[in-house]
Amino acid sequence: MSGFTGRFRRWLRRAPGRSAFSGGEPAGSGGGDRQDEPAAGGGDQQRVRPSWSTRSVAREVFLLQLVLVVLLVAAAVVAFVVQTRRDTMTDARHRTLAAAESFAHSWGLQEALNSPDPTAKLQPLAEEARKASGVDALIVYKLDGITLTHSDPRQIGKHVIGPYAEAARGKPFTRTFEGALGLSVISAAPVKDSSGRVIAIVAAPVTVEKVQKSVNQQLPLFLGTAVVALALAAGGAGLVSRRLRRQTHGLGPAEMTRMYEHHDAVLHAVREGVLIVGRGGRLLLANDEARRLLDLPADAEGRQVDDLGLDHRTAELLASDRIATDEVHLAQDRLLAVNKRSTTPYGAHQASVVTLRDTTELRWLSGRAEVARERLRLLYDAGARIGSTLNVVRTAEELAQVAVPRFADIVTVELQEPVLKGEEPSVTGNALRRAALAGLPPDHPLYPVGELLTVVPGAPAASADQVRPMVEPDLAGSSAWRSQDPERARRILDHGVHSLAVVPLRARGVVLGMVSFWRSGSSPPFDDEDLSFAEELAGRAAVGVDNARRFTRERTMAMTLQRSLMPRGLPDQDALEVAHRYLPARAGVGGDWFDVIPLPGARVALVVGDVVGHGLHAAATMGRLRIAVHNFSALDLSPDELLGHVDELVTHIDVQDENGEEVPAITGATCLYVIYDSVSGRVSAATAGHLPPAVAHPDGSVEFLHSPVSPPLGVGTGLPFETAEVSLPEGSRLVLYTDGLVENRSRDLDAGLEALRAALAGPDRTPEDTCATVMESLLPTRSTDDVALLVARTRRLDPAQVAEWDVPRDPAAVGPVRNACVRQLVDWGLETIAFGTELILSELITNAIRHGAEPIHVRLLHTRTLICEVSDGSSTSPHIRQAKDTDEEGRGLFLVAQFAEHWGTRYSPRGKTIWSAQVIGPEALPSEEEPSEDLLNLWEQRAQW
């Protein structure tokens, strides 16, 4: 319509019979007869067609066409020159790069470079290749930058200048820079030996001056072509102007009248209102569409716009000189888009052209489209924000926050109690707990977060399993909703809340809770379309809530399993002062674990392990490994033997799992087993793919006890495990840890070990202080992997608490050794258990003499218990057996088991040691006054059992 209006304005300046523009009476109503108007305006028609006017227009058209042609030709020449120069430069780059790479890969080049005089061999070849390729030079130099070949012999032997570091790294390149030949395009290619190492560089330059000469040679042809094109275009423009002048002069009154009639028909046929308003606010012309839209009277043309009964705002715009663009005005029940422009720039008449367009339906459709776009945008934001954390309450809060205020003024979310705990939702439960609320100040009248809501049956939301999507446009008129809590309902209504939409949170066919959307104040009430959107939003949120619930359940189960499998406390022992830390990962429970296991002979085993992965499988695997280590520790094995048995067990478990359900293998678990002997101060350690323990000496130095490298458990390589031994002074700190402490995404393993060394170095600290310092230094924030840390400070058993005797293999030596042991017990103040100890030693020494081999050694250790050890050179293991009434022997170990709290056997490379442990204190029984007859009766009773 805008193009037609412009043509119409230009025509009106020349059309006959339109004297109204100068302030006279209107020429007609727009729908009447126009046949007599040419006669009335005959004089004007003669002024429209003077030859000079036509000639001036033709002259302007000619000049405009000529200017455009000149600009186009000039632009074409410039573009052609630029493109030619660019193509020439591109060709130079390709040519130099091809020459450099061809010469760099030529046969015999490496042999010439390695010869005593590379220049003598390469210079002729380079010159021949240069002439053949058309480049200005072929420069060869080694990585030291000394030129070996050049088109200018004076440059040979000089240090090359240029950015050739990229080629030295093995990558060809092309650059333009100032070199020995001037500003040049230079390409460089590396020369590599058979191993791929760069040994030299070949550079091929072409001067920019040479490129420019090539362009300049083509410039005369370009200019000549442009001049010819310009001449042809000027001639064509002249012919067009001449033809235009001739055709314009040929128009007569009949043709002009016919042109006016055509324009008048189009003016009244268009679906856009057109008004022409003259000076003083007088309506000069109105087409049929404008009359319909504004409901104008039949005699509207020629009257003041203020007298037409229009809206005050619309009449003011029409009468003013203000320009308007798509202003919206109300006309009865229509919304009109009004545009107004002045006709002054297009002629001498001072008037305004106004166009009207009915946008009522368009506004309604665009409003609905905008609402739909906003809803889609809200759903997109909800998908991105809801469920960002696997936390049930946080997911409910995200749902409430994303819907306020873009969909509702207030949002409340209620979930079932089992859902909040990560359990399966109840099907028949009717109690919901408020989990989130958004859109209200702290003094709001709704139930607070954490409140348990018992919903009244028959209400809009009766129970968890009966929740159905519903909408209450007017809460004040809903008796069912007000009956739940009349007093609180009154307060809610007083707060301005007037509409409610309730939607269940349903996932996998089960209702997890419900979400309520409230509107207050001037917000429109909810309708069915809003309810459909609320269902879509709640459906997406329910998936996030259910995922968080399932994650919470699995994490709770894993935590419970891990707590049941991890040590709940450290055992009592005197060899080590122990402190520990365990930090779960952010992703959940992992497979890191530790243990402290007292061993006979005043020894303690320290264990740290790591199972790859997180969750229930990792926790269960950790428990299986910990139980296995405990069981094998009861056999009193060396660290390497124990890890060997655990490795066989893991391999066996993996084989069994492969034959059953699909369960992840345990392969990848690591373990570190350390035994500390408080009598000798020796540490024995063996590792199965685990990080080495750190040792902090009393003088402040720190070292890592690197055991021989061994694979993780279950790999099945068949390689044996090896034990490393070292003696530590009293007060040293043994630090065992898992990889989560020293390694993460931002820190590699070496840096983590150095950080651990720095944290342990310095003055002596207690194990508790050491744990706190290490955790604070290495883990300032929550780790992505779980962490286990075990710190043990060594203690030495006082030599006065150790007594040892060598026993010859002679039955007569039993008595003197036994008497010496009794005297030692008296010195230690252990007279109450002297009788039982005497029997134990008699039996163990006698068995060693009868059934063992030399050397025989007896040792007493006075710790929390009294430990008796008898060692011999035989590896035969003794066993308790039930002797018959007629047997004269076989009751010795039974007596040992009765008088000792624990007893057992451990093996060494030189034999075995049978040990027993007796309780020290008031509860120590039996005493030395206990008659031997009772012991025999006790044996008889045991035989009957």
> Across the strands, what pairs with 806?
857
Neighbours of 210 (CB within 10 A): 18
For residue 388, give the DSSP letter.
Answer: S
Nearest to 552 by CA among 445, 707, 418, 752: 418
> Across the strands, what pairs with 725?
684
For residue 747, give the DSSP letter.
Answer: B
Instruction: Give the torsion through C-alpha atoms of 537, 540, 541, 542, to 10 deg.
Output: 120
Nearest to 126 by CA among 23, 200, 52: 200
What are the φ and ψ backbone dihedral angles of 250, each rounded to 5 degrees?
A: -85, -5
Cis peptide before 926 (omega within 30 of 0): yes
Residue 15 vs residues 52, 236, 355: alpha-carbon distances, Å:
18, 31, 21
Pick left, alpha or beta for residue 681 (phi over 0 → left; psi -120 to 50 → alpha; otherwise beta). left
Q: Is residue 595 a contact partner of residue 626, using CB atoms and an 8 Å limit?
A: yes
- 607-636: buried (b, 16+ CB within 10 Å) or exposed (e) per residue? bbbbbbbbbbbbbbbbbbbbebbeebbeeb
Q: Is residue 474 a contact partner of residue 447, using CB atoms and an 8 Å limit?
A: no
Q: Give the C-alpha separation, 703 to 695, whole Å.
A: 5
Nearest to 600 by CA among 305, 337, 908: 908
- CB-facing half-sphere around the CA of 617: CA atoms within 13 A: 11
Q: Give the C-alpha separation, 223 to 230, whole Å.
A: 10
Q: Is residue 591 a contact partner of residue 611, using CB atoms and an 8 Å limit?
A: yes
Q: Is residue 382 a contact partner of residue 542, using CB atoms and an 8 Å limit?
A: no
Task: Report the run of H or E that residue 283 belongs to, with start and end.
Answer: strand 283-286
Q: Is residue 598 a contact partner of residue 901, using CB atoms and an 8 Å limit?
A: no
The DSSP bridge pattern shows strands 431-438 and 452-454 to be antiparallel
Q: State the burial class of residue 640 (Cβ atoms within 10 Å of its Cβ: 0-12, 13-18, 19+).
A: buried
Neighbours of 361 (CB within 10 A): 10
- Residue 668 corresponds to which tokens in the numbers above? 């990848």
pLDDT of residue 930: 46
Nearest to 841 by CA among 857, 855, 862, 828: 857
Q: Is 937 helix (H, G, I), strand (E, B) or coil?
A: helix
- CB-facing half-sphere around the CA of 102: CA atoms within 13 A: 16
pLDDT of residue 664: 55
Q: State the burial class of residue 259 (Cβ atoms within 10 Å of its Cβ: 0-12, 13-18, 19+).
A: middle
String of DSSP letters for 571-638? PP-SSEEEEEEEE-BTTB-BS-EEEEEEETTTEEEEEEEE-SSBSHHHHHHHHHHHHHHHHHHTTT--
For residue 731, give the DSSP letter.
Answer: T
For residue 523, give the DSSP letter.
Answer: S
pLDDT of residue 562: 66
- Residue 798 corresponds to which tokens in the numbers above? 């006082």
- CB-facing half-sphere around the CA of 708: CA atoms within 13 A: 10
- Residue 247 corresponds to which tokens in the numbers above? 């055709």
Residues whose CB is less than 8 angstroms from the CB of residue 870 and which lie 6 or more positions away in sequence, other chains included: 841, 844, 845, 847, 848, 856, 857, 858, 913, 914, 915
pTM metric for this prediction: 0.52
Q: Is residue 707 a contact partner of residue 686, using CB atoms and an 8 Å limit?
A: yes
Residue 57 vs residues 27, 51, 782: alpha-carbon distances, Å:
29, 10, 82
Please report, as a single letter, which amino acid is at residue 25.
E
Nearest to 19 by CA among 7, 31, 27: 27
- Residue 769 corresponds to which tokens in the numbers above? 């202080």
Taking each helix axis from N to C end, the angle separating 814-828 and 834-851, rounded to the nearest 10 degrees, works out to: 150
Nearest to 69 by CA among 247, 242, 238: 238
Q: Which residue is listed with tokens 């040293």?
A: 732
Q: Which residue is listed with tokens 């058979």?
A: 194
Q: Is residue 594 a contact partner of residue 788, using CB atoms and an 8 Å limit?
A: yes
Q: Is 466 helix (H, G, I), strand (E, B) or coil?
A: coil
Task: Report the run of H or E that residue 499 belongs to, with start and end.
Answer: strand 497-507
Q: Is 515 helix (H, G, I), strand (E, B) or coil?
A: strand
DSSP strand E in 293-409: where? 324-331, 334-342, 351-358
pLDDT of residue 375: 76
Q: What is the CA radius of gyration of the chain?
A: 51
Q: Is residue 258 a contact partner of residue 9, using CB atoms and an 8 Å limit?
A: no
HEC string of 115-164?
A: CCCHHHHHHHHHHHHHHHHCCCCCEEEECCCEEEECCCHHHCCCECCCCC
- CB-facing half-sphere around the CA of 639: CA atoms within 13 A: 28
Q: Enumerate residue ranges in the chain where pLDDT < 50.
A: 1-56, 248-253, 456-462, 660, 883-888, 890, 926-933, 935-945
Helical H segments across 672-730, by residue range: none
Task: Report the run of H or E that residue 414 belongs to, with start and end.
Answer: strand 410-416
Q: What is the pLDDT of residues 724-738, one digit of tens each?
A: 999 999 999 999 999
147-149 β-sheet, strand order: 147-149, 139-142, 198-207, 182-192, 173-179
Q: Give the C-alpha separation, 140 to 100, whole Å.
A: 9
Please report, as a single letter, which amino acid is at residue 484.
Q
pLDDT of residue 793: 94
Neighbours of 817 (CB within 10 A): 19
What are the φ and ψ backbone dihedral angles of 908, each rounded to 5 degrees?
A: -135, 170
Neighbours of 144 (CB within 10 A): 8
